[in-house]
């Protein structure tokens, strides 16, 4: 094993299971010996992390950009740095309240006994993070796990290798290896990591790999949180303010060039609004990105494999007769930059790959409907998405969409915004994920909620103990009548 520091592991595939198991055991023993960290210790960990993130923000933006070929500095500062700092500030402010035992009521027959819920750290948490937001989606679950008092082993994505190395050295400078250890390597190392008997395993990534992670964790009955993806719909009501809606949709779609798990994946809008939507889309893209090739605000596709996948989606759609509208205001050639122009695919067939698969790029299918019920039915015929977006002013129609569709989260008259509200749970449902985090929900995800009953010295429990007789029968009659 070659090691950058004591907190960074680069295990060889042949010895990965042994080396990773040894690290897990060291962390578990350290956790048992030290006991649950105090509120002050947890706040100190979070404060140290917060200061380091601020200090390394610009360096991180440069590293991520190198991994992408080009990543907008402003997008990194907003979506990676600000989001992480906001999560830490929220945890610092509320952690004392979250940790406090919660008193719960007991039924009359158990009085004067009392009950409470204690929040205990689970122990050692495993985190597997993806490439699309390689810092934020590693650090946000780390924040929640540390706030809950756990030790952490982190496996960042090998598809953004410079960022993975940066995170490893960054965390090694902040925490000892028995508190936070970073594991570097490819798919084989990731598979060995997922099989470790963690006290909890947290995975962010594709649904296909999420299934494999869950299978691996099942071998040791490790509980999992799976933050997956799916095809997040965007529904425009008849009364949607089109110009504002389109700007919000394209902000959400083109952030990180569409490489966002909650990006709008397709649009459903009334038939009569289709051409107006296309015109507004052209206007919005020109406003945001008047040029694409040399525009520092417009991000590249992360690698050639992902770029070619998106090109294949578009080639297939065109070959099967779908109308393709490329939104390239300056009509620039983009091939050498590995940037892909925002592209609309109008009324795509259900047999197309871009209709079946999560797109993860700046390609937006547009479908029309005659009645709002048709749009709702279309969403409900497909796997439950990670996010859903609705645009419209009519509260009754909005509430109908909210009630009749099931998704991980929703933003109304906006895209992406629900994910930055720390008091809202963030997670999927069905094929888009299991479990949630952010804020107090994240603290609880990485905590054991221990139920505790405290018996009073004076109580009637003896009345229900053997030998059973007339008094027991009388007590049972009273209890069963209630």
Phi–psi pair at 65, nearest 5 degrees: -60, -40
**Rounded CA separation 218/233 (Å):** 31
Pinpoint the alpha helices (H) of 15-38: 16-34
- pTM score of the predicted model: 0.95
Q: What is the pLDDT of residue 7?
A: 80
**Rounded CA separation 480/473 (Å):** 10
Window from 59-63, 146-150, 456-460 with minimum mean pLDDT: 456-460
**Rounded CA separation 389/413 (Å):** 7
Residue 148 has pLDDT above 50, yes or no: yes
Mean pLDDT of 81-85: 98
Q: Which of 83, 80, 42 is nearest to 175 (CA)?
A: 42
Q: What is the pLDDT of residue 188?
A: 95
List, in sequence order, every beta strand (DSSP E) within 246-322.
266-270
Given 80, 261, 280, 422, the catalytic residue:
261
CA atoms within 13 A on the CB side of 155: 28
Domain residue spans in the chain?
Answer: 8-228+435-449, 233-427
pLDDT digits (tens, 9 = 90+) for 343-354: 999 999 999 999
DSSP 79: I
Token couple for 80: 């990676």
Q: What is the pLDDT of residue 3?
A: 39
pLDDT digits (tens, 9 = 90+) for 444-454: 999 999 999 99
234 catalytic? Reply is no
Token couple for 154: 């982190």
Residue 109 has pLDDT above 90, yes or no: no
Q: What is the dihedral of CA 57, 63, 69, 72, to 10 degrees?
A: 0
∠ Cα 469 474 475 (to 5°): 100
pLDDT digits (tens, 9 = 90+) for 171-201: 999 999 999 999 999 999 999 999 999 999 9
Q: What is the pLDDT of residue 4?
A: 41
Confidence of residue 286 (pLDDT cuts 50, 70, 90): very high
Question: Homologous superfamily of 233-427 in CATH?
Answer: Aldehyde Dehydrogenase; Chain A, domain 2 (3.40.309.10)
Mean pLDDT of 60-76: 98
**Rounded CA separation 285/130 (Å):** 28
Q: Distance from first CA to last CA of the chain, Å, rounded?
A: 65
Q: What is the dihedral of CA 419, 363, 80, 24, to 10 degrees?
A: 90
Token couple for 126: 């495993």
More confident position, 327 or 473? 327
Confidence of residue 461 (pLDDT cuts 50, 70, 90): confident
Residue 472 has pLDDT above 90, yes or no: no
Q: Which of 260, 272, 261, 263 is nearest to 236 (CA)?
A: 272
pLDDT digits (tens, 9 = 90+) for 370-406: 999 999 999 999 999 999 999 999 999 999 999 999 9
Q: What is the pLDDT of residue 6?
A: 54
Q: What is the dihedral of CA 400, 384, 75, 146, to 10 degrees?
A: 110
Q: Which of 257, 255, 207 is nearest to 230 (CA)?
A: 207
- CATH number for the region 8-228+435-449 comes to 3.40.605.10
Confidence of residue 142 (pLDDT cuts 50, 70, 90): very high
pLDDT digits (tens, 9 = 90+) for 11-53: 988 889 999 999 999 999 999 999 999 999 999 999 999 999 9
Mean pLDDT of 149-158: 98
Given 19, 75, 80, 227, the catalytic residue:
227
247 catalytic? Reply is no
């Amino acid at each position: 094993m070659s090691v950058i520091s004591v907190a960074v592991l680069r295990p060889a595939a042949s010895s990965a299971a042994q080396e990773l198991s040894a690290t897990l055991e060291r962390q578990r023993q350290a956790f048992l010996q030290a006991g649950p960290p105090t509120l002050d210790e947890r706040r100190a960990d979070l404060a140290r992390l917060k200061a380091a993130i601020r200090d390394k923000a610009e360096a991180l933006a440069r590293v991520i950009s190198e991994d992408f070929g080009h990543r907008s500095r402003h997008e990194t500062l907003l979506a990676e740095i600000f989001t992480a700092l906001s999560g830490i500030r929220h945890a610092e402010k509320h952690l004392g309240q979250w940790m406090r035992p919660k008193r719960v009521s007991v039924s009359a027959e158990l009085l004067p006994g009392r009950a409470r819920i204690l929040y205990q750290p689970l122990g050692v948490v495993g985190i597997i993070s993806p490439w699309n937001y390689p810092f934020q989606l590693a650090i946000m679950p780390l924040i929640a796990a540390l706030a809950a008092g756990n030790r952490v082993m982190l496996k960042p994505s090998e598809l953004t290798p410079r960022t993975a190395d940066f995170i490893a050295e960054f965390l090694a400078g902040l925490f000892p290896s028995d508190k936070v250890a970073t594991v570097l390597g490819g798919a084989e190392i990731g598979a060995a990591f997922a099989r470790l008997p963690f006290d909890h395993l947290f995975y962010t990534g594709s649904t296909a790999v999420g299934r494999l992670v869950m299978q691996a964790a099942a071998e040791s009955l490790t509980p999992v949180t799976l933050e997956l993806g799916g095809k997040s719909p965007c529904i425009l009501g008849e009364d949607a303010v089109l110009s504002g809606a389109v700007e919000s949709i394209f902000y959400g779609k083109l952030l990180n060039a569409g490489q966002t798990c909650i990006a709008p994946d397709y649009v459903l809008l009334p038939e009569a609004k289709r051409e107006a939507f296309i015109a507004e889309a052209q206007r919005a893209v020109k406003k945001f990105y008047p040029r694409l090739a040399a525009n520092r605000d417009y991000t590249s596709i992360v690698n050639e494999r992902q770029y070619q996948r998106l090109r294949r989606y578009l080639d297939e759609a065109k070959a099967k007769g779908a109308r393709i509208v490329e939104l390239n205001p300056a009509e620039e050639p983009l091939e050498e930059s590995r940037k892909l122009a925002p592209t609309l695919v109008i009324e795509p067939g259900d047999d197309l790959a871009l209709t079946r698969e999560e797109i993860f790029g700046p390609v937006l299918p547009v479908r029309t409907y005659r009645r709002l019920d048709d749009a709702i039915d279309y969403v409900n015929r497909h796997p439950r998405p990670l996010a859903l977006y609705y645009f419209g002013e009519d509260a009754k129609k909005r509430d109908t969409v909210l009630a009749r569709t099931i998704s991980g989260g929703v933003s109304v008259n906006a895209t992406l915004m629900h994910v930055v509200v720390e008091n809202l749970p963030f997670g999927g449902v069905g094929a888009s994920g299991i479990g949630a985090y952010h804020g107090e929900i994240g603290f609880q995800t990485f905590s054991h909620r221990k139920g505790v009953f405290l018996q009073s010295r004076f109580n009637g429990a003896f009345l229900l103990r053997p030998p059973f007789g007339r008094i027991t029968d009388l007590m049972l009659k009273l209890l069963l009548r209630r």
